Chains A and B, each alone.
Chain A
Amino acid sequence: MLVMALCLPASAGLRQKQANRDTNQFRYEIECAGNAIQGTYLVKVWSYSKKASVAENQCRKNAVHGVIFKGYGGGQGCVSQRPLANNPGVETQFGEYFDSFFADGGEFQKYASIMEGTTETIKVGREYKVGCVVSVRKDDLRKALEAAGVIRGLNSGF
């Protein structure tokens, strides 16, 4: 019993670490989920994990990561959006900043919220693919990245 009690949190931690690694390797899909209110993007994110609950938790992190580094395509009335970070090298250049930003419980949480009742779970082989619709507060996120010097503001240089 004692061994089991010690092992359970450790294995949950390992799954979370794996999910974080998946995020870093862009192992998620992001698509437009409709027109959002001003200052936000509404995106659907598909995350992968051996445990459905871990994948669901990862959705917010992946949504923010996707808005910063990937952008998403349009279609069916949706407008495609470029990533906030235009320079592909920015993730490495500001590695320390993003490590802390995307750490579990990190600042990324402030900018994303899962829309209730939108979670879909599909079993794919030995893992789960979990889709959630996430509202990302992109204007606030962009301001935070501009303030940190990660991206350039429209007004910078003038």
Chain B
Amino acid sequence: MKKSLFTIVLACVALVASAQIKKPELMVIPSDAWCIQNGYYTEVANMGTITKVPNYKQALQENMGLKLAIAKLNDLMAERQFPLKSLEQEIKNLEQRRMEDNLTTSKAGNDLAESPLDEVARTAKCDIILELTWDVKDFGPKHSLSYILEGRDAYTSKSIGAASGTGAPSFTADVDVLLEEAIVANMDNFNNRLLDHFTEMQTIGREISLDIKVFANNAAGIDLETEFGDDELIDVINNWLQLNTVQGRFSMPYASENIANFTQVRIPVYDERGRAIDANGFAKGLAKMLKKEPYNIPSKVLVKGLGRAVIILGEK
């Protein structure tokens, strides 16, 4: 009796836990403009063009103001029960993992299997990027600090909200003090916008982007124009999205026989069994439907985080 009661309680706890919406991860990074302005970048030759790429590791190692700003933002967000993911720690973890992977071999001397895609995927990731910029202007003996904190959805690239402003000119020469003041003064406004974004997500669903691609010369012999009855495969996918998105909200800015991009796809935060879902879970639902009769299309679902998924049709 006791055992069955315990099982029921455990099941209830598991149900409540699974009913929680997946919490987005937030990370503060210095903006490209700030990194380039302060000399924290590396030049990369890209198809004959020199591109400046921010060097976050160097910025974190050499700029105390940046470390202070990130620590302050983390402190304020933790106070709202939303601790940030640390950029510095992520960079360290990536390096550690890379080193461990390089040193891992089997008894037979085989290295770890890793596809080029796995290698690309091994970058610092989060769901919402908080881009930080600040600049100090001098007005005679006084200094004033301009500050911008912009939140961006990492998958849809949409701006979630920003808090910006220029502080009153002050005789304080310490940039760190001005920066701390600016962060404290602007954080509530930023958090209000973040709260609006979360409320919208909980009301009309999580916004994701979904890409459908086709393996070239795939074994199933299909592309997005393959016909099933009166409908092409792209119509079948469109119909499924119409039924499974919140209020049928999505748009298809581009489609060809090989690729279809779906943006502004509003997915429900829970599935029909009350479990929290993200882009990956949603894409798997579509892949399962396509695997069944009459389509019988195998596919590969690539995980890109909470808000982006890629399905490649034709093979596993």
Contacts and interface: CB of A to CB of B under 8 A. Distances in A.
A35 B81 contact: no
A153 B80 contact: yes
B189 A81 contact: yes
Given A35-B185, A77-B168, A154 B21 contact: no
Q: What band does the interface of chain B fall in when counting residues whose beta carbon is under 8 Å from A? A: 20 to 34
Given A77-B168, A82-B192, A86-B192, A157 B198 contact: yes
Interface of B: 20-23, 76, 79-82, 165-169, 181, 184-186, 188-189, 191-192, 194-196, 198-199, 202
Given A81-B189, A154-B191, A158-B23, A35 B181 contact: yes
A158 B195 contact: no
B138 to A, nearest CB: 16
B309 to A, nearest CB: 21
Contacts of A82: 188-189, 192
Contacts of A152: 195, 199
Interface residues of A, number: 20
A155 B78 CA distance: 10
A38 B183 CA distance: 10
Nearest to B194: A154
Most chain A Cβ neighbours within 10 Å, of B82, B168, B169, B188:
B188
Contacts of B23: 155, 158
A127 interface: no
A139 interface: yes
Contacts of A157: 21, 198, 202
18 contacts: A35-B167, A35-B181, A38-B184, A76-B168, A77-B168, A77-B169, A78-B185, A79-B165, A79-B185, A79-B189, A82-B192, A152-B199, A153-B81, A154-B80, A154-B82, A154-B195, A155-B23, A157-B202
Given A35-B167, A35-B168, 13 more contacts: A35-B181, A38-B76, A77-B168, A78-B185, A79-B186, A86-B192, A139-B79, A152-B195, A153-B81, A154-B194, A155-B80, A157-B198, A158-B23
A74 interface: yes
A74 B186 CA distance: 11
A130 B194 CA distance: 37
Contacts of B184: 35, 37-38
A158 B194 CA distance: 13
